[in-house]
Structure 1
Amino acid sequence: MNETKGARLADRLKTAAEAKQALLAKFKPRPAAADPLFAERGVAAAAELKAVRAERQAVRTVKKKAADAVAAGAAVAAVERAERKRAKAPTEAEAKDKRDAKYAARKARR
């Protein structure tokens, strides 16, 4: 049953101290077991990371080339549009002749 019955004060204090030490021993850190595959997992993770980075870089390169192609196409289109606009625009002499014709027609109506 209870071993402390009839024990002296010193024995009870000793038993209590041992019990307290046993409880505290539960919370002490234990040495961790070394993982044998730790290094291999690190190498595999590094290889995977390198592959992911290479893939992302490839995607960035493709996107940049596509954006450059679109920008170049837009620049060519802008130049072509400016050429067409300039070709359609009358020269100064043609514009002057047109104004003079309007003025003459207005004067003739009066």
Structure 2
Amino acid sequence: MKFTRDNGLSERRGTAAEAKAAQLQAYKAAREAAEPMNAARQAERLAVAAAREQRHAERDRLKAEEKARLEAEAEERQAATEAAARAEIEAREATEKNRISRVLEDEAARKAERDRRYAARKARQG
């Protein structure tokens, strides 16, 4: 069978334009039909992103608390070390002062004994 229609340029262009318009209408209809699903998916994505941000914020908060706790412990250890060093220095100084005071007392006692012997000798001679 022979086609009786003449597929000229203008007819082909018209058919292509009609097909293009039909595709555009089908796309718009599909887009409008999918709009509620897209909105639901977008809301779900936003909820997931918000939950992720919340988890990140919580993790950052916990890291900051842990860091602060470790710093506080380090400061406490440093303070304890310094206090122990200070106590050791003070103990050494106290020991040194006691030794010096004992030496001075011993020397004073020797002088007193010497003076007593001198006075006793003078009393016997005189």
TM-score, scaled relative to structure 1: 0.54
Deviation, 1:62, is 0.7
Gaps of at least 5 residues in structure 1 are 1-32, 105-110
Counterpart secondary structure, 1:71 = helix
2:108 is aligned to 95
Counterpart secondary structure, 1:76 = helix
Q: Which has the larger helix fraction?
A: 2
Instruction: Determine which structure has more spread, i.e. the larger CA radius of gyration.
Output: 2
- RMSD between aligned residues: 2.9
2:100 aligned with 1:81: no
1:41 is aligned to 53
- After superposition, give the CA deviation of every residue in 1:6-43 in whole Å (9 maximum; x if it has no partner): xxxxxxxxxxxxxxxxxxxxxxxxxxx78321111111
Deviation, 1:102, is 7.3
CA distance in 1, matches of 2:59, 2:90: 46
2:60 aligned with 1:52: no
Q: How many residues align?
A: 74
CA distance in 2, matches of 1:44, 1:57: 20
- After superposition, give the CA deviation of every residue in 1:65-104 in whole Å (9 maximum; x if it has no partner): 0000000000011111111111111364532333566797
Structure 1 residues 102 and 60, CA gap change in structure 2 (3 angstroms): farther
Structure 1 residues 60 and 102, CA gap change in structure 2 (3 angstroms): farther
Q: Give matches, 1:2-17, under 5 Å.
A: none
TM-score, scaled relative to structure 2: 0.48
